[in-house]
Amino acid sequence: MSRWAWQRLSYWVELVFFYEMRSTMKWLCLMLLVGVGCGATSARSDKSLTECEGDACSPAKDASNPCLDGDLRACNTLGWAYQQGDGVAQSDEEAARYYALSCPSPEKYDDYGCGNLGYMYESGRGVERDYEKAAHYYGLSCDRKMKASCFSLGIAYELGRGIDADHKKARELYEFSCTAGYGPACTNLGVLLIRGQGGPSDPKRAVTLLQKECDEDNNPWACGSLGYAYNSGLGVQIDRCRAKELNTKSCDNKQNPVGCANLGDMLLRGDCGDPDLERGKELLSKTCDENNRGCSSLGILYRDGKTVGRDLARAQELFEKGCAANEAAACLRLGDFHYSKGDKEAALHSYRRGCDAGRPAACQKLAENLGKGHPDYEATAHKACGFGAKWCPED
């Protein structure tokens, strides 16, 4: 499960508080609204939400259904009921239909309903998956300062999913949601602060954010990222045993790929204990296969012939897989691999990707190979230095 998928669970916990279905009277109203126990059924078109137009998108007119009288919040509440199967037969299609009715236009919409519709399009529930539409509806909801939707829009900007990638915009959105008290956004903000994406790196603040999320919310992504910080000395003194403890906690929590990959790497090196090559390889193989995490360290095993037969082609394949998933270490190793083969252009491309993903050594090698006369040299060199690398350009 990805960082963004796991954190999406918090999205629903955040929203459920706001839905008007918790008091007995409101629940009875909802029962009447959808016809439960009243001998009625919810009329609907057989067309999909993305195909229907006008009245075909609406259930049959019913005086007991305030959604059809223009109560957009009631439409959202109905969508939530159908999505959860709460008092009605669970139906993602009906949920998406009612969420769409709650978000009919950019001029008039329910802020929660648009955020929920964005989620349906992002996850492909009840509608065909469409990241562009997901970003659009998250944007409408975020325009009204809905912190969960701003968080989801930040993910879209971070990944370039349905919208042009923009780490600066992602960072601004995470900052807003985190300040508003939305914990998962604090974790994502911490990761960008460590990597120096979207603005200057700030490892100390990142550690503060990640520590809070790991301790208070037991967020496995926060714990794993904090483990990386302790293992790398980013914002804190290097403490291998503390790093191992945090990565183990993260890995044990739903097999979080960041924690498991970090732990696998530590087991290979024997950090804070004896090496355990087989267990390390097992963890890395699983996270690389399922989540594209740890591919770099697994590739090193094949490159160096540790616990497996030496296989440079397999090593390159793993480095490429990890780099394609923005695993910074994999991009660095792939750059080294290309450089050793004399392919400087491919090496620079990989180093640049690793640098953009927050790997100081990749920035350093990119700067050194670009040379002082290159227009990108100064920015790249100072980025490496700003990340906390031991190397900094000479003045």
Rounded Cα–Cα distance for residues 347 and 352 (Å)? 9
Q: Is residue 111 within 8 Å of residue 153, measured between CB atoms?
A: no
- The better pLDDT of the pair 68, 84 is held by 84
pLDDT (0 to 100) of residue 372: 81
- Architecture of the CATH domain 320-395: Alpha Horseshoe (1.25)
Nearest to 307 by CA among 336, 275, 262, 271: 275
| Minimum mean pLDDT range among 47-61, 63-77, 369-383 | 47-61
**pLDDT exceeds 80 at position 21:** no
In order of 56, 63, 83, 126, the CA distances from 44 in angstroms are 8, 16, 16, 14
For the record, the structure tokens of 99 come out as 């969420």
- The better pLDDT of the pair 169, 305 is held by 169
Nearest to 366 by CA among 350, 387, 385, 389: 350
pLDDT tier for residue 361 given thresholds of 50, 70 and 90? confident
**Tens of pLDDT, residues 192-212:** 999 888 998 899 999 999 999
pLDDT (0 to 100) of residue 394: 56
| Minimum mean pLDDT range among 41-45, 169-173, 265-269, 301-305 | 41-45
Q: Is residue 297 within 8 Å of residue 329, measured between CB atoms?
A: yes
pLDDT (0 to 100) of residue 3: 53
Q: Is residue 154 within 8 Å of residue 3, measured between CB atoms?
A: no
**pLDDT exceeds 90 at position 270:** yes
pLDDT (0 to 100) of residue 20: 35
- Residue 305 has phi, psi (to 5 degrees) of 75, 35
| Minimum mean pLDDT range among 59-63, 137-141, 286-290 | 59-63
pLDDT (0 to 100) of residue 196: 86
Mean pLDDT of 284-306: 92
pLDDT tier for residue 255 given thresholds of 50, 70 and 90? confident
Q: Is residue 90 within 8 Å of residue 84, measured between CB atoms?
A: yes
- Residue 105 has phi, psi (to 5 degrees) of -160, 160
pLDDT tier for residue 290 given thresholds of 50, 70 and 90? very high
For the record, the structure tokens of 173 come out as 């959105």
CB-neighbour burial class of residue 340 (10 A; exposed 0-12, middle 13-18, buried 19+):
exposed
pLDDT tier for residue 245 given thresholds of 50, 70 and 90? very high
CB-neighbour burial class of residue 192 (10 A; exposed 0-12, middle 13-18, buried 19+):
buried
Q: Which amino acid is at 50?
A: T
Mean pLDDT of 123-138: 97
pLDDT (0 to 100) of residue 371: 84
pLDDT tier for residue 54 given thresholds of 50, 70 and 90? very low
pLDDT (0 to 100) of residue 392: 60
- The percent of residues above 70 in pLDDT, for the chain, comes to 81
Query: Is the CA virtual torsion 223, 202, 7, 211 positive or negative?
Result: positive
**Tens of pLDDT, residues 311-349:** 999 999 999 999 998 888 999 999 999 999 999 999 999
Superfamily covering domain 1-37+57-156: Tetratricopeptide repeat domain (1.25.40.10)
Mean pLDDT of 85-111: 95
Q: Where are the alpha helices (DSSP H) in 270-327?
A: 277-291, 295-304, 312-324
Radius of gyration of the chain (CA): 24
pLDDT (0 to 100) of residue 181: 95
Nearest to 171 by CA among 146, 195, 139: 195
pLDDT (0 to 100) of residue 367: 87
| Minimum mean pLDDT range among 59-63, 79-83, 325-329 | 59-63
In order of 227, 241, 328, 337, the CA distances from 238 in angstroms are 10, 9, 20, 28
Q: Is residue 6 within 8 Å of residue 256, measured between CB atoms?
A: yes
**pLDDT exceeds 60 at position 6:** no
Give percent helix, percent strand, percent coil of the chain, each to the nearest 5. 65, 0, 35
Nearest to 97 by CA among 134, 51, 129, 133: 51
Where are the domain boundaries for CATH 1.25.40.10 in the chain? 1-37+57-156
pLDDT (0 to 100) of residue 103: 96
- The percent of residues above 90 in pLDDT, for the chain, comes to 65
pLDDT (0 to 100) of residue 9: 43
- The better pLDDT of the pair 5, 302 is held by 302
Q: Is residue 121 within 8 Å of residue 154, measured between CB atoms?
A: no
**pLDDT exceeds 70 at position 178:** yes
Q: Is residue 99 within 8 Å of residue 110, measured between CB atoms?
A: no
Query: Which residue shows structure tokens 């944007």?
Result: 139
pLDDT tier for residue 2 given thresholds of 50, 70 and 90? low
**pLDDT exceeds 70 at position 175:** yes
pLDDT (0 to 100) of residue 17: 33
Query: Which residue shows structure tokens 């709650």?
Result: 102
Rounded Cα–Cα distance for residues 261 and 242 (Å)? 16
**pLDDT exceeds 70 at position 59:** no
Rounded Cα–Cα distance for residues 194 and 236 (Å)? 12
pLDDT (0 to 100) of residue 43: 30
